[in-house]
Amino acid sequence: MTLKTGRDGGVATLTLDQPPLNILTRALARELRSSLAGLAADPSLRVLVLAAEGKHFSAGADVGEHLPPTYRKMVPEFVETLEALAVFPLPVIAAVRGRCLGGGFEIAQCADVIVAGEGATFGQPEIVLGVTAPIACVLLPRLASPGLANELLFSGDTISALRAQAAGLVQRVVHDDQVEPEAHALAQRIARHSAAALRLTKKTLLAAADRPRHDALREASSIYLNNLMATEDALEGLTAFVEKRVPTWRDR
């Protein structure tokens, strides 16, 4: 197995388990897709944490699998895996230490929140090998400024966790030995809330992401009126507030 799974109440953890560099093979991508599908269908899940064994999050995909003829299967499979992560129906937190490069950085870009160690480095070195980073070409300009995305994709250089945070790519920077505890503490704070409300918040964010503002506002309103207010938890939460009591979530 190249992927470890863990569960603490409403928080699930998927841990890349191929140290020291956690190279992303087709086998690992297949395990990740399978795990994501199972977790997405779990009505009691509230948050997913992505972590990694060893000093480094991931140095990227297996270069050998990029060569002919394997690349024709590897690239679509990897895109499918990251798409499943990007549209995962609940909040995703990436806990990043050490190197976060290539496909590893693309995985992190699919998370909703990145907690990084102060020694972490981020980059897309594919250009050094004469290839591109197709997923990052799509995601990076949407997450950071187009200028920074261009710099990383054209140069192959890395940036520090602090520069990534200043660019909006990373949300929290902590001591390297506090990355997982910080990520799980945030996950537990999120997990206090209704799973139904968390799912519909994520659905609204995804639905609005690539639409013109007018269309996005209409879609967000529709989800609120037709999906959110049809849940038991929405009525429970609003009623509990009015009655000055702690809500009891049923996650539906």
Q: Which among 31, 106, 180, 182 is annotated as catalytic?
A: 106
Q: Which among 103, 104, 117, 237 is annotated as catalytic?
A: 103
Residue 52 falls in the annotated catalytic set:
no
Name the token pair of 154. 């054209």
Name the token pair of 128. 């050094």
Residue 61 falls in the annotated catalytic set:
yes
Residue 147 falls in the annotated catalytic set:
no
Contact 93, 49 (CB under 8 A): yes
Between the two ends of the chain, the Cα-to-Cα distance in Å is 34
Q: What is the 3-state secondary structure (H, E, C) of the chain?
A: CCEEEEEECCEEEEEECCCCCCCECHHHHHHHHHHHHHHHCCCCCCEEEEEECCCCCECCECHHHHCCCCHHHHHHHHHHHHHHHHCCCCCEEEEECCEEECHHHHHHHCCCEEEEECCCEEECHHHHHCCCCHHHHHHHHHHCCHHHHHHHHHHCCEEEHHHHHHCCCCCEEECHHHHHHHHHHHHHHHCCCCHHHHHHHHHHHHHHCCCCHHHHHHHHHHHHHHCHHHCHHHHHHHHHHHCCCCCCCCCC
Q: Which among 12, 61, 94, 120 is annotated as catalytic?
A: 61
Residue 103 falls in the annotated catalytic set:
yes
Q: Which among 65, 126, 180, 182 is annotated as catalytic?
A: 126
- The residues annotated with a catalytic role in the active site are 61, 103, 106, 126
